[in-house]
Structure 1
Amino acid sequence: MPKLVDHEERRVHIIDALLRSAASSGLHSVTMRSVAVEAGVSVRLVQYYFDTKEQLLLAAMTRLAARMGERVQRRVRATGAGTDPRGIVEAVLLEAVPTDEESRAFHLIYTEYAVLSVTDPALGGRPFLAAPDEMEAFLVAQLTAARRAGTADPRLDARQEAVVLLAVSAGLGLSVLLGQRTADDATAVLRYHLGRVFPG
């Protein structure tokens, strides 16, 4: 009797091959053939699951975002922040600092995808690119809760501050990728700024 094929498992195997390839040689150099080689399958099989490179890239970015969401949740649980807005905000922002191979790969691939999407209409405007808006809304809710609880500056504009925090964390993450500063230095800068947002 022929072995049953787990199509979702195969899709994930191919997607993970793309992510490994992109993390080592850059998203711009990824092709259907290079993904097939990395996955140890035929190009025809890659094309069976993904008609175009753009479909494969979008699937990879969606998986990458889900994995990063899981990392954030683990970090929040590990810090014991519970429902404390400052702890949650700090945990979320610290994931923007590449501290290990997985987070480095996430930031490298995400940054390259974002740049590619500016000039490639097939990549721009996709649901994955709504993730920053969702993160902004999440931070607004946490900052608003902190202001109401009296743990954040009462003059705080939650929406404006969420935009600033995301910009600062993204910039710091990029500076670590570029070797401008260490992950520890970037973490210290984030905590310094959060100390001003949450003076208590």
Structure 2
Amino acid sequence: MPRQVDHDERRRQIAEAVWRLAMRGGLEQVTLRQVATEADVSARLLQYYFGTRDQVLLGALEILNADAERQAKRRMDELGESPTIRTVVRGVLLEMLPLDQERRDRHTVYAAYFVRFLTEPALASVAEAATSGLADLVTDLIAAARAAGQVVEGVEPAVEGAFLTAGAEGLQTRMLLSQLSSDDAIAIIDRQLDRVFTTA
């Protein structure tokens, strides 16, 4: 009896091939043939699961984002049953930093997509949704902390949400370029949180 194909597993196999190619040399010159070879599947099978080259790149990005959400949720769960709002905000911001190999690989792949984010609407919309979602989450958390009297007077949640997430993205880039250590990046995040929240 032929082995039943796990379609999700096959899609992941192809997505991981895209990620490896992205980490090795970017995505600008990557072809369907290269992806198929890297994934050890036929070009026909690649097109069956994803379609065009752009759809392969989009599908691989969506799987990467889903992985990131699962890993982030797992790490947030590890904060305990009743973490403070500041602790949750800190966890969200640290998730944006390449603090371990899994996050470093993911952010390296995102960096390889960057030019395509600027030029391709479908990929840009996925990137925008992820970035806006994080900023909105941090904004909502700071608003809840303000309502509970846990932030410094005068703090504007939307402004701080945008600033903190943009700052974390900047730290991420410097860490990927080995211009900033993990400890220094975390210290910068903590100093910014000291500016926003009334208690550590």
Same fold (TM over 0.5): yes
1:164 and 1:66 map into 2 onto residues whose CA distance is 24
User: TM-score by structure 1 length?
Assistant: 0.90
Letter in 2 for 1:141: D
Counterpart in the other structure of 2:189: 190
Q: Map residues 1-200 of structure 1 onto 2, 5 A cutoff.
A: 1-80=1-80, 82-121=82-121, 123-124=123-124, 126-200=125-199
Could you report, residue by residue, the CA deviation over 1:85-125 in whole angstroms, capped at 9, with x for unpaired residues? 1111100100121122221121122233232221235633x
Q: Secondary structure at the match of 2:28?
A: helix
Greater Cα offset, 16-25 or 190-199 = 16-25
Q: Which blocks of at least 5 consecutive residues in structure 2 are unaligned?
A: none
User: TM-score by structure 2 length?
Assistant: 0.90
2:81 and 2:136 map into 1 onto residues whose CA distance is 19
- Cα distance change, pair 184–29 in 1 and its aligned pair in 2 (3 A): farther
Q: Is the 8 Å Cα contact of residues 32 and 53 (structure 2) preserved in structure 1?
A: yes
**What is the Cα deviation at residue 141 of structure 1?**
1.0
**What is the Cα deviation at residue 25 of structure 1?**
2.7
Q: Is the 8 Å Cα contact of residues 17 and 35 (structure 1) preserved in structure 2?
A: yes
Percent of residue pairs bearing the same amino acid type: 40
- Cα distance change, pair 128–117 in 1 and its aligned pair in 2 (3 A): closer
RMSD: 1.8
Greater Cα offset, 184-193 or 7-16 = 7-16
Q: Is the 8 Å Cα contact of residues 116 and 123 (structure 1) preserved in structure 2?
A: yes
2:82 and 2:61 map into 1 onto residues whose CA distance is 28
